[in-house]
Structure 1
Amino acid sequence: MNVLTSDDTISAIATAIGEGGIGIVRVSGSKAVAIADKLFIGKTGKRAADILSHQVVYGDIVDPGSGETIDEAILIIMRGPRSYTREDIVEIHCHGGPVPLRRILDLTLTLGARLAEPGEFTKRAFLSGRLDLAQAEAVIDIIRSKTDASLRVAVGNLSGTLSGEIKHLRHDILKMIAQLEAAIDFPEEDIEEAAAADVAELIVKANAEIGKLLSTAQTGRILREGLATVIVGKPNVGKSSLLNALLREKRAIVTDIPGTTRDIIEEYVNIRGIPLKIIDTAGIRETTDVVEKIGVERAKELVNQADLILLLLDASMPLSAEDRAVLELLAGRQAIILVNKSDLPSLLEFEELKKAAGNRLVLKISVTQGDGLAELEQAIADLVYSGHVSQGEAAFVNNVRHADALRHTSQRLEEALATIEAGMPPDCIVVDLRAAWEKLGEITGDTVGEDIIDQIFTQFCIGK
């Protein structure tokens, strides 16, 4: 069990910067209630020290030094361990302007709190055992969710869906270790061979479970971070029009003049629950325009970094040398080829295109008419979910750190299996199994180093 060692009382503004109807200052630690008692006066004269846990009281925030009323507020006290951090927590809900929030925060700091570090409230929840590390990471995933699907995955992980799977696997591996160590401790019973055979079967079963979790990793990562999607093609084929159609707003400038888009335009769009980080690039062509040339080079760089490439071609024009040059950029990349302007008389030879496209999906669309866009959205969903990963209640791996730990665990289990097959003694098998058990513990935080913990929580905002 992790242990919270800091006795500091921390304070921070927990709501987003800017104006809003309500703003919240959060204080956590042994001095939280005493600090609130010095600056809050209920409308009926009630002091913070007399407020029951989880009771809401309306009153004023008053500067104890000058007697000045700073703002009207609602005070909520959540006494530990029945709180987010398992410490005493005070939340001051005031008007959501930057001035009252800053004044109230300054008062809490003057009265004995210190400014919280990024993610320190959630870090304290982890260190006190309120959350494990995978659940703590899910908190930031919820905050950053871009679609309902990504939110469902994050909420599932916060509720412990993934953690439960990991803990079950660790328990199974621990049983394997115990079985082998029993064989080591009682050599006269001659059970080493039988124990190794039983463990081999259990390893195969555990590795299959890890394989199922890893099969969700690519989809989970995309739901968490977005599918990096680049729209490419020669100038004036409708790239910016496609971006606008997917966004359902006029984000990019659209003209009949080739080379209008010179820089990179990046936006997020929700495609059937999948967050697409969609990038409209400059048309790829030979140009003497210095600015446009830089845009073309950046477009080529983005192609190599993309998860998905949407290549636009013009149905009303024959396949050109510029089109072929863009097709060559797709080598080894996941791409969908879109033949735009399909509402116009076609001059494009589709048989010729299919040969150049290889086994890639080719869709006819008309951005101006809206034709084929539903089919494009379905094709993107099929690519992401790979036909077998659903958005149900099953555990999702949506974190690169978790996926890496699972891969290393699988590798150590395979090494343990190879050790058994080589007829090595049980203590050699135990070495690999214990390494696998420890690697899984990094996901939940049971065996993770302090440097990794610190690195994870620095990604959080202050106040969470």
Structure 2
Amino acid sequence: MMFDTIAAISTPRGEGGIGIVRISGDEALLILKKIFKTKSKKDVFNLKTYTINYGHIYDGDKLVDEVLVSVMRAPTTYTKEDIVEINCHGGYVITQKVLELVLEKGAKIAEPGEFTRRAFLNGRLDLTQAESVMDIIHGKTEKSISLSLNQLRGDLKEQIHNLKKLLMDVAAHVNVVLDYPEEGIDEPIPLNLVSNLHNVVEETNKLILSYDKGKMIKEGVKTAIVGKPNVGKSSLLNSVLREERAIVTRVAGTTRDTIEEIVNIKGIPLIMVDTAGIRDTEDEVENIGVQKSKELIKEADLVLFVLDSSKDLTKEDMEIYNSINNSKVIGILNKIDIRKELDISKLSKIKKWIEISALEKIGIDNLEDEIYNYVVSGKIEDSSEKLTITNIRHKSALEKTKQSVENIFETIDMGYPMDLIAVDLNDAIDSLSEVTGEISSEDLLDHVFNNFCVGK
């Protein structure tokens, strides 16, 4: 497939040890020859693939930089095109100057994600692998990167191809029945092929159910710390972060806006939000914070409902309690280092309570264990080995596949014509092809690759 030769800076802008200008395309070596002289006097076209070559970049006769140049020849490269990477000194001016020279000599500036898009269009990666590249770049924890690496390795691609093979075997039988009625095949679908359909439903359902966990591992668990003023929400945030991030005072209403931090708990990123204490207040600024806190309770993946265990329940405590969805809450009894007077028998919809002293750092490890168990249901050890999807696009396509196959069972049970089975089979196969990008629109590709950084 023929494309223009493209170039971009592939390292973060600014000062650093090196700055890399990446070039990909049929004219990559020709462009390099116009600006690069090797120390060994070798002609650029004689440089071997997968070699690093020392030399200098020139703008005409003017020395621009001392560089190392990596040469990678098609088709065994990331884009399956000739690739050149110029490793410059990492200043902004130098790297930008080298890029400008490359563009001046015939390259075009790369669009966001265009190198990876070419890898996809040239058959180097399928769409699931291309998406995993972005996930690796933006990975927040080792566990999220591990899931992305599995996908980059081709685990999801292989599973999708296996499912398509099961459906294609059924489709082959259905087409024979439809195209050659004179063969007199009475049985609509043999039992072994019905088993294929059951396997597809079972495996797609496993992948669909893995999405919620995968999304949390990839994007983080939005965790709202809520409670009335002065129950220790900010102290709790500081304790989990192991730093004094939030201001802690005895003055009620100190936190008037949300404070958001990401913390890594056993490989799970938690987006912890310390909210304003929820109470009736005449203070206009504090009241805005209270309203934001109430909204966060509805939006959060997990709510940490904090109570002051040294005091009796109040009307404010009960109002917050009644606004929380009991399926996503962990109750926290704070200030156990003072004394415990709180009766929580009225708070029966909260099944799990953790006793802590945020100030004295007591019980924080137990709380982290409970959060971890909540997110992964005690099965995180298998997550790096079991196939887990993290992309809503994959989930949506798999749901369409599952629905199409379930329609086939209904068609069989109702004794409807074989033509209807063929329609649902084609829909199921097409939905699986959407996952890997074998069927894709330009709009979809634009959506996927425009989210990449330039130079990748």
> CA–CA distance in 2 between the matches of 1:239 and 1:357?
22
> CA–CA distance in 1 between the matches of 2:239 and 2:326?
28
Residue from 207, 211, 219 that aligns with 1:217: 211
5+ long unaligned stretches in structure 2: none
The answer for the alignment partner of 1:268 in structure 2 is 262
Letter of the 1:45 counterpart: K
**Cα deviation digits, residues 47-71 of structure 1 (max 9, x gap):** 422211111111111112xx22121
Residue from 425, 443, 453 that aligns with 2:435: 443
> CA–CA distance in 2 between the matches of 1:49 and 1:242?
62
> CA–CA distance in 2 between the matches of 1:103 and 1:252?
44
Matched, 1:30 2:26: yes
Letter of the 2:372 counterpart: A
Deviation (angstroms), 1:187: 2.3
Matched, 1:290 2:284: yes
Letter of the 2:169 counterpart: K
**Cα deviation digits, residues 170-208 of structure 1 (max 9, x gap):** 111111100111122332333242525543332112101
Letter of the 1:443 counterpart: V
**Cα deviation digits, residues 282-322 of structure 1 (max 9, x gap):** 11111111111111111111111111111111011111111
**Cα deviation digits, residues 52-96 of structure 1 (max 9, x gap):** 1111111111112xx221211100111110110001110001111
* Structure 1 counterpart SS, 2:332: strand
> CA–CA distance in 2 between the matches of 1:356 and 1:106?
66
Residue from 44, 64, 68 that aligns with 2:40: 44
The answer for the alignment partner of 1:408 in structure 2 is 400
Check whether the contact 2:253–2:276 (CA below 8 A) recurs between aligned residues: yes
Check whether the contact 1:238–1:312 (CA below 8 A) recurs between aligned residues: yes
Deviation (angstroms), 1:342: 1.1
> CA–CA distance in 1 between the matches of 2:386 and 2:354?
33
Matched, 1:385 2:388: no
More divergent stretch after superposition (284-293 vs 382-391):
382-391
The structure-2 alpha-carbon separation of the partners of 1:192 and 1:374, relative to structure 1 and needing over 3 Å to count, comes to: farther
The answer for the alignment partner of 1:395 in structure 2 is 387
Supply the RMSD in Å over aligned alpha carbons. 1.4
Check whether the contact 1:40–1:47 (CA below 8 A) recurs between aligned residues: no
The answer for the alignment partner of 1:314 in structure 2 is 308
* Structure 2 counterpart SS, 1:337: strand
Matched, 1:375 2:371: no
Check whether the contact 2:221–2:271 (CA below 8 A) recurs between aligned residues: yes
The answer for the alignment partner of 2:143 in structure 1 is 149
* Structure 1 counterpart SS, 2:33: helix
* Structure 1 counterpart SS, 2:57: strand
> CA–CA distance in 2 between the matches of 1:296 and 1:146?
29
The answer for the alignment partner of 1:136 in structure 2 is 130
* Structure 2 counterpart SS, 1:356: coil
TM-score relative to the length of structure 1: 0.95
Letter of the 1:227 counterpart: V
> CA–CA distance in 1 between the matches of 2:399 and 2:64?
54
Residue from 404, 411, 434 that aligns with 1:419: 411
* Structure 1 counterpart SS, 2:13: coil
* Structure 1 counterpart SS, 2:17: strand
The answer for the alignment partner of 1:356 in structure 2 is 347
> CA–CA distance in 1 between the matches of 2:93 and 2:366?
50
> CA–CA distance in 2 between the matches of 1:190 and 1:366?
77
Check whether the contact 1:413–1:433 (CA below 8 A) recurs between aligned residues: yes
> CA–CA distance in 2 between the matches of 1:68 and 1:418?
75
> CA–CA distance in 1 between the matches of 2:45 and 2:183?
65
Matched, 1:13 2:9: yes
Letter of the 1:215 counterpart: L
The structure-2 alpha-carbon separation of the partners of 1:332 and 1:361, relative to structure 1 and needing over 3 Å to count, comes to: closer
**Cα deviation digits, residues 110-133 of structure 1 (max 9, x gap):** 111111000000000000000000
> CA–CA distance in 1 between the matches of 2:270 and 2:290?
22
Check whether the contact 1:192–1:426 (CA below 8 A) recurs between aligned residues: no
Letter of the 1:402 counterpart: H
TM-score relative to the length of structure 2: 0.97
> CA–CA distance in 2 between the matches of 1:292 and 1:70?
57
* Structure 1 counterpart SS, 2:76: coil
* Structure 2 counterpart SS, 1:149: helix
Check whether the contact 1:183–1:195 (CA below 8 A) recurs between aligned residues: no
Deviation (angstroms), 1:369: 2.1
Check whether the contact 2:55–2:67 (CA below 8 A) recurs between aligned residues: yes
Q: Percent identity?
A: 45
> CA–CA distance in 1 between the matches of 2:139 and 2:212?
16
> CA–CA distance in 1 between the matches of 2:62 and 2:245?
48
Letter of the 2:393 counterpart: R
Check whether the contact 1:200–1:420 (CA below 8 A) recurs between aligned residues: no
Aligned length: 455
* Structure 2 counterpart SS, 1:20: coil
Check whether the contact 1:133–1:445 (CA below 8 A) recurs between aligned residues: yes
The answer for the alignment partner of 1:431 in structure 2 is 423
**Cα deviation digits, residues 411-450 of structure 1 (max 9, x gap):** 1111111111111222210110110110011110001222
* Structure 2 counterpart SS, 1:75: strand
> CA–CA distance in 2 between the matches of 1:51 and 1:357?
73
Letter of the 1:102 counterpart: Q
> CA–CA distance in 1 between the matches of 2:290 and 2:350?
26
The structure-2 alpha-carbon separation of the partners of 1:383 and 1:252, relative to structure 1 and needing over 3 Å to count, comes to: same
> CA–CA distance in 1 between the matches of 2:299 and 2:230?
23
Check whether the contact 2:7–2:22 (CA below 8 A) recurs between aligned residues: yes
Residue from 159, 162, 170 that aligns with 1:176: 170
Deviation (angstroms), 1:360: 2.9
Check whether the contact 2:74–2:82 (CA below 8 A) recurs between aligned residues: yes
Letter of the 2:328 counterpart: Q
> CA–CA distance in 2 between the matches of 1:192 and 1:442?
33
5+ long unaligned stretches in structure 1: none
Residue from 156, 159, 173 that aligns with 2:153: 159
Map 1:221-260 → 2, pairs under 5 A: 221-260=215-254
